[in-house]
Amino acid sequence: MLNITRRRGERVVLGDDVFISVLEVSGQTVRLGIDAPRSVRVYREEIWLEVKRENEASAHASGASLPADLPAPLKSDSGEGTRSNVVNPPPQS
Amino acid sequence: MALAIESTRFGHVEIDPETIIEFPDGLIGLGGTRFALLTSDPNSPFLWLHCVDDPSLSLPVTDPHRFFSGYEVELTDEDAERLGLDDATPVDVFVTVVASSELSEFTANKRAPILVWNGQGHQIINQAPDTDLRAPLFAEVMGSAGDPS
């Protein structure tokens, strides 16, 4: 990992268009300012990580077939405009 | 012409190319850039968000409004600007579901909903209050003692 020492007010540049500024240093806390193109997504690592883990848990959960016999949802018609593809049920395992 | 994939979960599947949803940024931490929604039961509240380019990547999703009354999605100003979304844009909202053998253990991710509009999809971090990462999916529909009216 690259290690760079910076003081308050100094910046690091990633590529040509991502600028990370050290705004404030106070005890164990560092405030960073991030100036990046709109297309660059910026997350706090712990939030990114928990969503990544939840996505993986969803993709890997057992049960190829979801239960058909469900309690009635709050509303039955979702009104979703996005079209889906009807496929054969997964093979029972 | 239909696009055929050999899905790990569903076997041979044909996808209408017009239903393909482009995810320019993929799902958070998972990637994938083209997905389609699949269902083997049009009456089920669940759909499968299936990656078109990775036959082993699929996630069950649902419309959160079917299970959580008052569910709202709030974007950061940066996301709203990045995605070009405003309140007037009609957007379909889905949440990922972690399935289980017990209904009581099903959870949905209210924190990172998937927004779909105009054939594109984005998973975003919801800024609204009450956005559990693992919200019990059936708590509200099973917990209500009163008659549905």
Total residues found in chain A within this entry: 93
8 A C-beta contact, residue B121 and residue B85: no
Q: Which of B25, B57, B99 sits opposite A61 (nearest CB)?
A: B99
Contacts of A61 in chain B (CB under 8 A): 60, 98-100
Residue B120 confidence (pLDDT) above 90: yes
What is the amino acid identity at position B47? L
Q: Which of B19, B58, B69 sits opposite A84 (nearest CB)?
A: B19
Query: Is the residue at A44 inside a domain?
Result: yes
Q: Looking at residue B148, what is its pLDDT?
A: 46
Q: Looking at residue A91, what is its pLDDT?
A: 65
The residue among B125, B17, B36, B112 whose CA lies nearest residue B80 is: B125
The fold of the B3-143 domain, in CATH, is BH3618-like (2.30.290)
Q: Which of B10, B65, B142 sits opposite A90 (nearest CB)?
A: B10
A87 in contact with chain B, both atoms CB, cutoff 8 A: yes
Domain coverage including residue A43? 11-59
B46 in contact with chain A, both atoms CB, cutoff 8 A: yes
Per DSSP bridges, beta strands B92-98 and B58-62 are: antiparallel
- Please state, rounded to an integer, the average pLDDT across all residues of chain A: 86
Which residue did the predictor score with more confidence, B20 or A79?
Answer: B20
Query: Is the residue at A69 inside a domain?
Result: no
- Determine whether the interchain pair A87/B69 forms a contact, defined as Cβ–Cβ distance below 8 Å: no
Residue B21 confidence (pLDDT) above 90: yes
- Determine whether the interchain pair B37/A84 forms a contact, defined as Cβ–Cβ distance below 8 Å: yes
Residues B24-37 pLDDT 10s: 999 999 989 999 99
Query: Is the residue at A33 inside a domain?
Result: yes
Q: Looking at residue A25, what is its pLDDT?
A: 96
Where are the domains positioned within chain B? 3-143
Measured CA angle at B46 (ends B139, B43), to 5 deg: 105
User: pLDDT band at residue A78, thresholds of 50, 70 and 90?
Assistant: low
8 A C-beta contact, residue A10 and residue A21: yes
Paired tokens of B139: 């708590």
The residue among B59, B131, B116, B24 whose CA lies nearest residue A55 is: B59
Query: Is the residue at A67 inside a domain?
Result: no
In the β-sheet with A11-14, what is the strand arrangement from edge to edge? A11-14, A18-26, A29-35
* For residues B7-22, average pLDDT: 92
Query: How many angstroms separate the CA of residue B81 from the nearest CA in chain A?
Result: 8
Contacts of B65 in chain A (CB under 8 A): 74-75, 78
Burial letters for A58-86: b for 16+ Cβ neighbours within 10 Å, e otherwise? Answer: bbebeebbbeeebeebbeeebeeebebbe
Query: Is the residue at A24 inside a domain?
Result: yes
* For residues B94-107, average pLDDT: 92
- Determine whether the interchain pair A74/B101 forms a contact, defined as Cβ–Cβ distance below 8 Å: no
Q: Say how far apart CA B120 and CA A81 lie, in whole Å.
A: 13
* For residues B28-57, average pLDDT: 92
Which H or E element spans position B108? strand B107-108
Query: Is the residue at A16 inside a domain?
Result: yes
The segment with the largest mean pLDDT, out of A9-13, A64-68, B128-132, is: A9-13
- Determine whether the interchain pair B96/A52 forms a contact, defined as Cβ–Cβ distance below 8 Å: no
- Please state, rounded to an integer, the average pLDDT across all residues of chain B: 90
Residues A33-60 pLDDT 10s: 999 998 899 999 999 999 999 999 999 9
- The least confident of A88-92, B55-59, B125-129 is A88-92
User: pLDDT band at residue B145, thresholds of 50, 70 and 90?
Assistant: very low
Mutate to test the interface with B, among A35, A54, A77 (most CBs of B within 10 A): A54
Q: Looking at residue B106, what is its pLDDT?
A: 93
- Determine whether the interchain pair A74/B46 forms a contact, defined as Cβ–Cβ distance below 8 Å: no
Count: domains in chain A: 1
B92 in contact with chain A, both atoms CB, cutoff 8 A: yes
- The least confident of A52-61, B53-62, B106-115, B140-149 is B140-149
Residue B73's alpha-carbon distances to B70, B88, B111, B113, B131, in angstroms, are: 10, 14, 9, 8, 9
Q: Looking at residue A79, what is its pLDDT?
A: 58
A71 in contact with chain B, both atoms CB, cutoff 8 A: yes
Alpha helices in chain B (DSSP H): 77-83, 139-143
What is this model's ipTM?
Answer: 0.91
What is the distance between the terminal CA atoms of chain B, rounded to a whole angstrom? 44
Q: Looking at residue A44, what is its pLDDT?
A: 95
